Amino acid sequence: MKKTYLITCLILTSAHSISADKAIMLPADHIMHDARTHYFFTCLKGAYEHLAGAHSAATSTYQRLNKVLINDPALMHASLHLAFAKKEYATILAHASVIDPAKEEQKESAFLLAQTYLMHDMNDEAAALFEKLMAHYPTENRFEYFATIAYGKTNEHEKAHAVIDRALKKNELAGKHHLFHFLKAKLHYTKDTAAAYAAAQQCITCNPLFAKGFFLLGSLEEQQKNTAAALTAYERYHRLAPEDKTILDKIQELRSHS
């Protein structure tokens, strides 16, 4: 699929490219139309280079476009998305003052910035930005998930639980309910073991294939000295996430005590 996409991008970009010599011979409206089309497919080319992992090529493509498409919000987001993939977080943070979450065309850039805040433990900034995103785009449920994480990190547990409870009442989020039960269990983990256990059980009931839910349940069972139950949960986690070899020592340890 990626190969077909690349070929299509290159063919279309080539077909719509225009040389300076030819431009002189064309009417102004034709030149403008052709230029816009060329920029569009050059953006598409940069996006594919990004998806294909050719980050240096994508950077070069976007830098060329930035010289002609000044302050274009779509191009800004594409550039920031690439910076995020390259882990050049300083580039994203440097754009904080020009990103307005109230503007629809900058919504995705604001989302990247908020995630960058979280990754750098700038939790107050992350929580404040996610609050704005939730206010401006109440149907965008992904913001509720990340806002809950931010509130947990700022110890604003009441706000976190309020967001979780609101999310769990939304029917359209039924397929994501396990994620919010998971976050609820983590919020309760150190303060209310019974509530954390109940939320973890709800999590794996909603999605029996959610590996992290079984790891969390195993941790809670182990915390309560329920060795057999902890072992069962950890073994289920390992079956669902076999790439995580770190759990094998824990499983072996519990087996030796069972």
Give pairs for 132-136: CB < 8 Å, separation 24+: 132/101, 132/102, 133/101, 133/107, 134/163, 136/101, 136/102, 136/107
Helix (H, G, I), strand (E, B) or coil at 211: helix
Answer for the pair 153, 123: CB distance below 8 angstroms, yes or no.
yes
The C-alpha angle 191, 199, 116, rounded to 5 degrees, equals: 75
The whole-angstrom separation of Cα 93 and Cα 109 is 11
- Tell me how many degrees the CA angle 179-150-130 measures, rounded to the nearest 5: 95
CA 17 from centre of chain: 34
Domains of the chain, by residue range, sit at: 1-69, 111-169, 175-258
Give the number of other Cβ atoms within 10 Å of residue 194's Cβ: 10
**DSSP structural state of residue 53:** T
pLDDT of residue 130: 97
Mean pLDDT by 10 residues, the chain (258 residues): 42 38 38 52 66 75 67 77 88 93 93 96 97 92 93 95 91 82 94 95 96 97 94 97 94 89
pLDDT in tens, 198-215: 999 999 999 999 999 999
Structure letter (DSSP) for residue 103: S
Cβ contacts of 188 within 8 Å, gap of 6 or more: 195, 196, 199
How far, CA to CA in Å, does 43 sit from each of 62, 111, 195?
Answer: 7, 21, 49
Q: In one letter, which amino acid is 37? A: T
CB contact at 8 A, 42 and 65: yes
CA nearest 100: which of 73, 80, 67?
Answer: 73
In this prediction, residue 25 carries a pLDDT of 38
Closest to 114 in 3D by CA, of 223, 13, 106, 210: 106
Cα angle, residue 114 at apex, residues 108 and 117 outer, rounded to 5°: 145
List CB contacts of 106: < 8 A, sequence separation 6 or more: 73, 76, 77, 99, 100
Whether the domain at 111-169 and the domain at 175-258 fall into the same CATH topology: yes
In one-letter notation, the amino acid at residue 212 is: K
Work out the angle at residue 193's Cα, subtended by the Cα atoms of residues 188 and 195, and round it to the nearest 5 degrees.
60
Distance CA 132, CA 115 (A): 14
Fold of 175-258: 1.25.40
CATH topology of domain 111-169: 1.25.40
pLDDT at 139: 83
The predicted model scores a pTM of: 0.72
